[in-house]
Each structure stands twice: as C-alpha cells, then as structure tokens.
Amino acid sequence: MLCRGEGLLGSLTALLVAALALSRSPALSVLLTGGLYLALHLFSLEPAAPQSAQRVLRPRRAAARIAHRGGAHDAPENTLAAIRQAAENGATGVELDLEFTADGVPILMHDETVERTTDGSGRLRDLTFEEIRRLNPSAKHRLRSKFQGEKVPTLREAVVESMQHNLIIYFDVKGHANQMRQADRNVVTALTHRPWQLSHFGDGTPRFSSSWKHHLYMMLDVILDWSLHSFLWRLCGVSALLVQKNFVSQDYVRHWSSKGIQVVAWTVNTFAEKSYYESVLESNYITDSLVEDCDPHY
C-alpha cells in the first residue's frame, strides 16, 4: 500500500517543511503535500504479484547471472547466437534491448541507429524490417568470424530461443515500457538507475563543457536520485531496481529487500565482483561476459 513505509513518510515530511519555509503558508503547504500524496495513491501502478516477481527475479532460488545484451563480450549483442552462447556459458537469463522498425516490427537493437553494431547505416525509425534484416549484426564484433550468417532477430524469435534454453529474459523496452505495463499487469517491471547519469556519461566524464549547464544537471541528478528512492519506485509499481554496481552495498540490498524490492547490479564484469555478488550479497547481477573479465560495454 502507498501509505506504508518510512521512505515516503520522510519525503512527504521534507516536502511539507520545504513548502512551509518557502510559502510561509500552513494551508498551502498542507494542500500541496496532501495533493502529492493523493496523486501518488490514485496514479501509482500495482506491482506484479510477489510469486510472479520471484519466478523472474529468483528462478533458481539463488543469485541470477544475467547476460547483458545476451553477453556482448562473448557474442554479437542482441542476437540469437548471443542467447545460445549465454546458455552454454551458464547464464540464468539474458538482458535484451527491444526497439521497433519503421514499419512497427519489434526487434532486438540497443541503439537508435544501426552503425555501431552492423554493416549498415541509418536510424531505426527510418528503416523497414526488410532493410534491417539484410544487415549483419556481427560485423563490428571482435569474434565476427565465429558468428557468421547472423540476422537482427525479431522479438518472437528471441523469446522462442530463450525459452528453448530455459533462460529468463530482462527486456529493456526503451520508450515503450509504460504501454507494456498497462497492457499486462503480470509484467514484472524495474527501474534502472545510475547516479549522476544526467550530468555524466557512463565512463564518468562530464556530458557538458559548459560549467553552468554541468552544475544544473548535477542538481537535476540529485533531484532524480531523491525522487527514485522516495516515491518513483512506488509510483511505477516496480519489483526490482537495476543499479550501477559502484553504488550497491550490503546495506543498500538489505534496505530494498525490506521493501520487497530486488536489487540487480550492472555491469559486473570481473570474477572477484561476481563472487562477491553471489556469495556475500546474494544479489542478481548483469554481466557482459560469463567466461572472462572484460571492460564494460556501454
């Protein structure tokens, strides 16, 4: 229930105090805080049933090893070959990226353009499925000679392949998650979070050269972080939180576990890190490789 939990109570209290300080009006402050609470109560989504969430997040009653984009270091990302390779390498599941072609066909692709992973060029929204099907998704991979003849797969092909290998699937559905959640309440959903993601790239370098813009987006990062940990997780009805590995600790995992939320770390790419997540944190993790240490694939 929305009314349960210290996090939300603390957030509403902080909002009430801030509103009082800024407006000097008790009535306006109470109205603002009460309105926010009512909006959260009316518009928040119900999470998937705990049993459904457990089947996806803890299918073998142990920390799940999820191959990022199918295991982008071990095979060409978001391909059927990657799914097969992940299963062979001992993955519990695969994380796959879902996008749509110009003619509305759901396919596996991470980027909005095809240049990085294929031998083609152009934006997905400008290319039909027939055009994308002619591209080679192995063209830029370090092991491309081993994975010849691959095609960009459809959603259906990826699901069938994963089911044949008894793999669970984490779908990153880009801009279409809300439609899926509204269409089926049994869909297990998660929020993905990397602190400072608005102001910095994945490798830690600033996104903006302008000092004022950099600090503005750092402020927005603080607000986003507070919002996610305070009420966004309730509003979205999530069952898991996917967090950049550098910000995951035993206390963090315990905190979210007490709220019924599973923490999944990304991207865990060394043997030492994986051992820590499996034996100490007992927490799921997403990795680019199941066979060797590697750098992260952004």
With cut-offs at 50, 70 and 90, classify the pLDDT of residue 37. low
Q: Output the average pLDDT for the chain.
A: 88
Q: How far is CA 171 from the centre of its chain?
A: 8
64, HSE (Cβ side, Cα atoms, 13 Å): 30
pLDDT at 4 over 60: no
Whole-angstrom distance, CA of residue 235 vs CA of residue 218: 23
Amino acid at 154: T
Average pLDDT over residues 209-222: 93
pLDDT tens digits, one per residue of 153-208? 999 999 999 999 999 999 998 665 555 555 566 788 999 999 999 999 988 899 99
Nearest to 90 by CA among 294, 293, 287: 287
Cis peptide before 267 (omega within 30 of 0): yes
User: What per-residue confidence (pLDDT) applies to 1?
Assistant: 21
pLDDT confidence tier of residue 28, bands split at 50, 70 and 90: confident
Tokens of 244: 């950049």
Residue 274 is encoded by which pair of tokens? 């994986």
Residue with tokens 């009460």: 34
Task: Please state which of the ranges 11-15, 22-26, 250-254 shows the lowest mean pLDDT.
Answer: 11-15
CA distance 154 to 130: 11
